């Protein structure tokens, strides 16, 4: 296999992995945005848990107990939902951060492959430098 074949293969791998990482980042960002939008929609619905307002039409111990239980349920739902949304958004952001680091590594690998291409055109005296660039590129791809 010639150096130009190796360089072509590495460039294709970099391109493919870059596209894959970009797609994953895009999907995760959309999922995070959708999750936040859903959180806002649910928050707007929480008040309906307390509907109808019992007001003066229903009084006594049973009414007080029922109203207290209803408010407790609302508080529990709010707290649980907020904790879960925060956990999910945090996990999504961590994955995005890891993928962005991977994308940056692929950018470096792409730069190195362009340098190797330039060396390849210089001829045999540059073969040692090309082999070194290939080694650096492979490290970035792992």
Query: Which tens digits make up the pLDDT trace of 4-51?
Result: 888 899 999 999 999 999 999 999 999 999 999 998 888 888 777 777
Over residues 56-67, mean pLDDT: 80
Q: Which residues touch 126 (CB under 8 Å, ≥6 apart)?
A: 119, 120
CB–CB of 35/88 below 8 Å?
yes
Q: Is the pLDDT of residue 62 over 90?
A: no
Residue 39's SS3 state is helix
Predicted model pTM: 0.74
3-state helix, strand, coil in the chain (%, to 5): 90, 0, 10
- Pick the more confident residue, 26 or 137: 26
**What local confidence, expressed as pLDDT, does residue 19 receive?**
97
Residue 125 has pLDDT above 70, yes or no: no
Average pLDDT, rounded, for the chain: 87
CA distances from 10 to 16, 18, 54, 116, 128 (A): 10, 12, 70, 11, 17
Tell me: pLDDT of 124 over 70.
no
């Amino acid at each position: 296999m010639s150096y130009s074949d190796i360089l072509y293969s590495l460039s294709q791998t970099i391109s493919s992995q870059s596209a894959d990482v970009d797609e994953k980042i895009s999907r995760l960002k959309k999922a995070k945005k959708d999750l936040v939008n859903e959180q806002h929609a649910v928050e707007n619905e929480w008040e309906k848990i307390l509907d109808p307002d019992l007001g003066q039409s229903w009084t006594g111990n049973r009414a007080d107990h029922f109203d207290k239980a209803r408010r407790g349920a609302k508080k529990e739902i709010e707290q649980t939902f907020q904790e879960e949304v925060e956990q999910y958004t945090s996990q999504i952001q961590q994955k995005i951060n890891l993928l962005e680091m991977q994308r940056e590594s692929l950018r470096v690998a792409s730069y190195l492959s362009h340098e190797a291409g330039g060396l390849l055109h210089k001829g045999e005296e540059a073969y040692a430098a090309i082999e070194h660039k290939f080694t650096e590129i492979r490290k970035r791809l792992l």
